[in-house]
Chain A
Amino acid sequence: MTLSLQNPNILTQCRPFVVATDETFEALDHRPFGLTLESHVHPFRLGSAPFLDRLKRLDELCFGPEGMPMPRWVFLDGAEIPGIIFGFALPAEHAPPDVHNAFFSAPTPEDQLPLSMFAAIPTIESGTWFAHNLSSAAALFPALKLKGLGSLTKAVGLKLTQASTQMGATQWTSRALHVHTKLGPLELLSAHTPAHGEFGTLTYRVTLRDDGLRQLAGAHQKDGAALAPTRWVRAHEVEDHIRLQALIEAGESAWICGAPRQVDGAIQVPVHVAASR
């Protein structure tokens, strides 16, 4: 089944790639949504080094200002060996000067400049993958008109893994919640997670279905039935996080049931809480 995107410009300009060991690659869906995986980058090969350098640079471009860039060894040990890095890359011969400048690159015409990446790894529970990095340079290069690149990257990356459930950690204040909630209601596993170290971290899991993945990808979809919020969590108020965490630890179920909203400049997140499981 192919994708019909609201922004077809992404697939016209960019090519999908995946970084994975052969063992992992064999377990992937090689035709996610009908796309052809044109580039399989092996993390151990000497010849992969220039492309992996550019992935590190993409991470710096996207996360450096927020203080959460990945050390190079975490790319290898925490993504490329146990799981995957999937993304879209622009052929160097089609890249404008500002993209070349951002990557400090003077690549050969056959080289690829990665503009997005999604890192995911298997978990202890079979069928559940943990997503820990989603980067998109679309906003850095507006002239390329790649709106929706991050969402599409996550959707195709998840389809690639053939996972039935995705787990992740993010912050209540993160704009990424607008992306993640396109998959459907996010079951909160924790609402206050100080072990993570970043203020306001929550952890979630979501059941993956094709309609949710297609909606995330930016394909035209009708909205399905949604859970109604029973409360709005103030993203910057740790008291709200702690209160919700207490409910979860008491056995109640909680879902983020939609995208955040802005009220008087403050972020509020819709949450549905149900009686004990």
Chain B
Amino acid sequence: MGETSWTSRCASLRPYLIAPEVFARALPDTILLAERDETHWVDPLRPSAVPLVDAVMALESAAFSEERAIPRWAMFDCAAAPGIISGYLGPDRKTPLSMLMALPTVTPGHWVVHTLSAAASPGLPASTADIAVTTIAAAAQLLRADRFTATPPWDSPTLAHHLSFAPAELLAAYCPATDEARTAVLRYSVRPTDITRGLSGPPPAERPRTSAGKTQDLIALQRRIEAGERLCLDHSGQIKAPPPQRSDEARP
């Protein structure tokens, strides 16, 4: 399967972007699959943003439990205003099929992707995984990002989507600071070669196999990380020693 088949299956989908226009000059002119002019861009600071924001919140509510759903004010304060919400609209050009919320960090090129959801639409050739992985790729290109940090729960299908591009360093294996302590904190590369690899590879498994299934195993992994050991997850979710560290990478 090559990049062409991924993009052709998503070709009928129109990208959208929710980000303040006051930051427009900080964004590049193109995003994957579409020029900026073809992107449905709304400014969350304008009342005209409400229909798309409402639709994004509806997708969010359908994708996550009440405990994990993002409050509307937090969607604004922790995504739409300081960062971006991006994704793809369905054939009606109004209903979002995917959504990714991303925040910048102090390091240029390093972004935190804190929400990712996608839903296949009947009659479309693109699967949920196709849409989710392409949504990550498009956001990486839009943001000129080179690294993403993500926080998928171990039992979430989005874990596999994040693992589609490059081996991910495991920054935390058990995280009581969040609602679901059985959460992984991953950092992975989204440079152009990684994006090409991710879009050229096989569709990700819905649930990666991992040997870190039990809570006590995750806590043990976390203790190894806190002791200074570096661990990573490969495409299939297996825990391995990391590849050699790039000289421009630093621990978080």
Contact = CB atoms under 8 A, between A and B. Distances in A.
A122 B82 contact: yes
B80 interface: yes
B92 to A, nearest CB: 21
Interface string A101-127: 000000000000000000001111110
B114 interface: yes
B156 to A, nearest CB: 12
Contacts of A81: 105, 112, 114, 149, 151, 185, 252
A198 B151 contact: no
B60 to A, nearest CB: 13
A222 to B, nearest CB: 32
B58 to A, nearest CB: 13
Nearest to B23: A124
B50 A195 contact: yes
Interface stretch (A45-53, A151-159, A261-269): A45-53
A192 B44 CA distance: 11
A130 B77 contact: yes
A124 B76 contact: no
A123 B175 contact: no
B76 A195 contact: yes
Nearest to A55: B177
A167 B81 contact: yes
A195 to B, nearest CB: 5
A80 to B, nearest CB: 7
Nearest to A192: B47
Interface string B35-56: 0000000001111011001000
Contact of A74 (B74, B108, B226, B250): B74
B219 to A, nearest CB: 7
B216 interface: no
A123 B176 contact: no
B32 interface: no
A31 interface: no
Contacts of A70: 71, 74
Nearest to B51: A195
Contacts of A71: 67-68, 70-71, 74, 179
B106 A196 contact: no
A195 B104 contact: no
Given A74-B78, A82-B112, A198-B73, A203 B45 contact: yes
B1 interface: no
B82 A121 contact: yes
A72 interface: yes
A197 B174 CA distance: 33
A167 B22 CA distance: 11
Given A43-B177, A196-B76, 19 more contacts: A21-B252, A24-B252, A45-B226, A46-B219, A46-B226, A49-B176, A71-B67, A76-B175, A77-B114, A122-B105, A124-B19, A124-B20, A124-B23, A124-B26, A130-B81, A132-B74, A189-B20, A190-B46, A195-B80
12 contacts: A24-B106, A24-B252, A46-B223, A70-B71, A74-B74, A77-B78, A81-B114, A81-B185, A124-B20, A193-B76, A196-B77, A197-B76
Interface of A: 21-24, 27, 43-46, 48-49, 52, 68, 70-83, 121-126, 129-130, 132, 167, 169, 189-190, 192-198, 201, 203, 205, 242, 245, 249
